[in-house]
Structure 1
Amino acid sequence: MDEVLTVRRWRRYGADRLYVTHETGARVGSVDLQSGEVVADDPVLEARVRRAAQAYLRSDVPELVLPVTSELASLDALEGLGTGLEAWLGDVRDGARSDHGLRGSPLGVRLERLADDGWETVHDVPLGRQGSVIEHLLVGPGGIWTVSERRHPGSRVRVAARTMHVDGRAVTYLRDARLEAARVQGLLQSVGCAGVHVRAALVVTGDLERDAHHPPQDALVVARHEVPNVFRRMHPHVDAARVKAIAGLARRRTTWAR
C-alpha cells in the first residue's frame, strides 16, 4: 500500500509556506516560498519534501494528497527540465516576486501585467490582528478592487445576483467578498482616502456560468482567463496621482492594523 503525503499552503502575517505531512499527521517538512528554504524533519526526507512541493506547485488545488511511490517518483524525469521546485523558487531568490508569496501565484502574475496600464497591485494585505488576509488589492484607473480566487477545477460554478453555487451547493463567496471590500473601504477612508469606493472581484477556476439577467450585485465574478483584460476594459475614472497615493497607503501595514 502506498505511503500518502499531504501538502498544504499556509499564508499568514506575510509568511507563505508549504507544509508536508504524513497520513498519520506527523510533519515531514516545509518549504518557505519566499526565501526558498527547505526544511525536513529528517534530512533523509529532504528530497521527498522537495518533490511533494513540486507536485503541489504544478497542480491547481488548495490541498494535495499524493501517494509517494507513484506521483513523487514520476517527477524524477522532470527535474532536469527547469520546471521543478528549484526553478519556481529561483524567481523568489532573484526578486521576481514581491516580499509576499501571492505575487508569484498564477493570479498574482496576471494582475502584475496591468502595471503598464497604470494599475498597482498589493498582495497579501493583512487585515487586523486576527490573521485575515486579502489575497490581492488592485488600484488603478478602473477603481479599487479586492481580488480573491476560488478554485473548483472540473466543477460547475453558477453565480446570480446574490447567490453562488458550486455543483449545486450554496457557498458564501459573494457575501465574504463584499464584506472584505467593505472593510478595506472603511480602513482606507479612516487613513484619509475620502470618497473611495472599493469593490470585490472573485476569480473562479471551474466551469463558470453567470446569470445574464441577474448579474452579481456589487461584485465582479470572472474566470481566471479573463484576467487581466477585464480590468483593462474598465472605464477610467481614477487619475494616476490618486492611484499612486492610495497604493502607497495600502502598502503601509499601519493602514490595516486596526
Structure 2
Amino acid sequence: MSEASWPWYRGALGEIAVGRILAGLGPEWLVLHAVPVGSGWSDIDHVLVGPAGVFTINTKNHAGQSIWVAEQTLMVSGNKHRHPYNSAREAARASTLLSTAAGAAVDVTGIVVIVDPRRLTIRDKPSQVIVLSDLQLLSFLQRRQAVLNAEQVQRAAAAAVNARTWHTKPTPPHNADELMRNFAALRCLVDEARRRRLSWVLGVPAVGFSVLAATGPLGAAVLHALMNR
C-alpha cells in the first residue's frame, strides 16, 4: 500500500468502526454514512437524525495517539489539527442544505469522533462542536434529551435521505454489501502484508539488528516502519 493511500485506508477503518457503534442506536434514529456533498468527491462521514437532534460526525482515526483539546485547538501527539474548525463548517453547511430542502430551519451539531485514542484530554470544550472518543459516542447520544418532536424528525429525515439535498449531481447508490466485501478483501491483503513484513523483521539475524542499531535514529526509524506498516 502506497504512502498516499495509507491515510485513506486508516480513515476507512475508523468510519467502519464508528458505523458499527451507530448501529446500536434505536429505530427512532436515521443514520446515514458517507453522504456525498457539493459537486465533487467530498462527503460527510455520518449524518444522524433523531429526537435528540441532527448531527454530522467527522471521524478521525488517531489510534494509539494522545489527543489534547482546548476550544478550537486540537493536538494529536503534539501536532495541531483543524478537526474542530472543519467539523463546525461541515455542520453549518449541512444545516443550510437541510433547511433549504425541508423548508424550515434545521439546526445541526458537529461531532468530532476520535477512534481508539491512547488518551483524550479536553481542557476546554470547543464552543461550536463536540469532541468525543468512539467509546463515548453511543452513551452520549443515548443520554441526550429530546429536542425535536416526531413531525420535526420526519421532516429533517425526509430531507436527509434525498440525495439531491446534498449533491448537485447525485449518482445511484453503490451496493453497500459489495463495497464491504471488497474492503474486507483489501483489509485481509493489508493484514497479510503486515504479517509478512513483521515475520521478515523478526527473522533478521542478530547481526542485522546490530547494524540497524548502529545507525542510530535512522535504524530505529527503519525498524519502526517495518513493524508498524
Q: TM-score, with normalisation over the residues of structure 2?
A: 0.66
The structure with the largest alpha-carbon Rg is 2
Query: Which residue in 2 is equivalent to 1:148?
Result: 58
Residue 169 of structure 1 deviates from its aligned partner by 1.0
The AA in structure 1 aligned to 2:121 is E
2:120 is matched with which residue: 204, 208, 217? Answer: 208
1:113 aligns with 2:24: yes
Residue 62 of structure 1 deviates from its aligned partner by 3.7
The AA in structure 2 aligned to 1:208 is L
Q: Provide the rounded CA distance (Å) in 2 between the counterparts of 1:244 and 1:121.
A: 13
SS in 1 for 2:64: strand
Contact 2:102 2:155 in 1 (8 A): no
Residue 252 of structure 1 deviates from its aligned partner by 1.0
SS in 1 for 2:24: helix
* Structure 2 counterparts to residues 21-170 of structure 1, below 5 A: 61-62=10-11, 105-116=16-27, 118-170=28-80
Q: Deviations over 1:21-51 (max 9, x none)?
A: xxxxxxxxxxxxxxxxxxxxxxxxxxxxxxx
Query: Which residue in 2 is equivalent to 1:50?
Result: none
Q: Provide the rounded CA distance (Å) in 2 between the counterparts of 1:146 and 1:193.
A: 19
Contact 2:50 2:153 in 1 (8 A): yes
1:182 aligns with 2:182: no
Moved over 2 A (4+): 5-11, 61-64
Structure showing greater relative contact order (alpha-carbon pairs closer than 8 Å, 6 or more residues apart) = 2
Task: Report the aligned-residue RMSD.
Answer: 2.3
The AA in structure 2 aligned to 1:218 is Q
Q: Provide the rounded CA distance (Å) in 2 between the counterparts of 1:124 and 1:225.
A: 20
Residue 126 of structure 1 deviates from its aligned partner by 0.9
Q: TM-score, with normalisation over the residues of structure 1?
A: 0.59
Contact 1:178 1:200 in 2 (8 A): yes
SS in 1 for 2:132: strand
Q: Provide the rounded CA distance (Å) in 1 between the counterparts of 2:11 and 2:137.
A: 20
Contact 1:134 1:148 in 2 (8 A): yes
Q: Deviations over 1:145-185 (max 9, x none)?
A: 00121111121111111111111111000110001101111
Contact 1:6 1:63 in 2 (8 A): no
Query: Which residue in 1 is equivalent to 2:156?
Result: 246
SS in 2 for 1:164: strand
What is the number of equivalent residue pairs in this alignment? 164
Percent identity over the alignment is: 28
Mark the runs of 5 or more structure 1 residues left unpaired by the alignment. 12-55, 65-101
Mark the runs of 5 or more structure 2 residues left unpaired by the alignment. 169-229
Q: Provide the rounded CA distance (Å) in 1 between the counterparts of 2:25 and 2:87.
A: 22
The AA in structure 1 aligned to 2:20 is V
SS in 2 for 1:216: coil
Residue 256 of structure 1 deviates from its aligned partner by 1.1
Query: Which residue in 2 is equivalent to 1:19?
Result: none
Contact 2:102 2:159 in 1 (8 A): no
